[in-house]
Structures are given as structure tokens and as C-alpha cells.
Amino acid sequence: MLRPSLIGSNHLGDPFADANAEDAGAGAGTKEYVHIRVQQRNGRKSLTTVQGLKKEYSYTKILKDLKKEFCCNGTVVQDSELGQVIQLQGDQRKNVSTFLVQAGLVKKDNVKIHGF
């Protein structure tokens, strides 16, 4: 039984801990994963983030193609820890995954989809 003192506290930990643990063990010969996550905003609105693409890619060109393909808005955000992150409006996880694989930017095995 759960003690009342633990209710409401952050005893469950980080929901992305499994993804962070996999990244922490990165060494020679390991895969570079592209993480696609969805975040709930307000009501039925959501935000899809894409991180882990190679640095030599032009994020603005990828974003332009994604916006045109999925009829949504988006932006490239510079994060201090994660580098450049693509943000798209709506739940575009499956769409982004298939787009990146079909465009040849990422192998299907290197895509991790998180959320819900």
C-alpha cells in the first residue's frame, strides 16, 4: 500500500529515465538514436519534439519539409543540453518517424518514439 506521505511527491522519478540511461551508456560502436516525443499542452493541443539528428543536417530545411508535408507549424529551438530540437504542433510522432526513414536521414532501428 502506498503511504500517504508519498502521495503527491515525485517518488516515481523521471519519466524519461529509461531514455537517459540508454544515452548515458553511449560509447564506441553504439547507435545514435533520434528521440521523438509528444508533450501535452492545454486541452487537446500537443507538441511533438525531435532530438538527436546529426549536427551536419540543415534543421531549417528539414523543418520546412516537415511543415509542408504535415500542414502544421513548427520551429527549431536551441537547447543548452540537447542542442537543436525541432518542435512541431500536434501529435506528429508517427508521421515524423516515417518521414525521416523514407528520406534516408535515419534508419528505422535508430528511431525511438516516446509518449502516451
Domain assignment present for 82: yes
24 band by pLDDT with thresholds 50, 70 and 90: low
Q: Do residues 98 and 52 lie in contact, with contact meaning Cβ atoms separated by under 8 Å?
A: no
DSSP for 23-87, written as a single string: HHT--TT----EEEEEEE-STT-EEEEEE---TTS-HHHHHHHHHHHHT--EEEEEETTTEEEEE
Domain hosting residue 116, numbered range: 41-116
Domain assignment present for 32: no
Return the amino acid letter for 32.
E
Whether the pLDDT of residue 23 is over 80: the answer is: no
pLDDT digits (tens, 9 = 90+) for 43-87: 999 999 999 999 999 999 999 999 999 999 999 999 998 899 999
Burial class (CB in 10 A: 0-12, 13-18, 19+), 68: exposed
CATH code of the domain covering residue 67: 3.30.780.10
- Number of domains within the chain: 1
Domain assignment present for 25: no
Domain assignment present for 90: yes
CB atoms within 10 A of CB 79: 10
Mean pLDDT of the chain, nearest integer: 83
Domain assignment present for 115: yes
Residue owning grid cell 510522432: 93
Full-prediction pTM beyond 0.75?
A: no
